[in-house]
Amino acid sequence: MNLILAYDSETQGLPKWDLSSDHPDQPHIVQLGALLVDLDTRATIASMDVIIRPDG
């Protein structure tokens, strides 16, 4: 079995390079998705799609 994990993330926007990375005005991740695929058969072994809703 020859596996590959592909993933993607969605954010609220682009980084603000003039601010520190922990500044509250920096964009946040709002969604994560991933697929685990067998490259030999091209079958999807597992997948995930997560919406992130932080407090505040």
- Give the pLDDT confidence of 7-55 residue by residue, as tens digits: 999 998 999 999 999 998 999 899 999 999 999 999 999 999 999 987 7
What is the structure's pLDDT at 10? 94
The dihedral sign for the CA sequence 12, 17, 19, 23:
positive
pLDDT at 41: 96
Which pLDDT belongs to residue 55?
75
Quick one: which H or E segment has residue 5? strand 3-11
CB 31 within 8 A of CB 51: yes
Confidence of residue 56 (pLDDT cuts 50, 70, 90): low
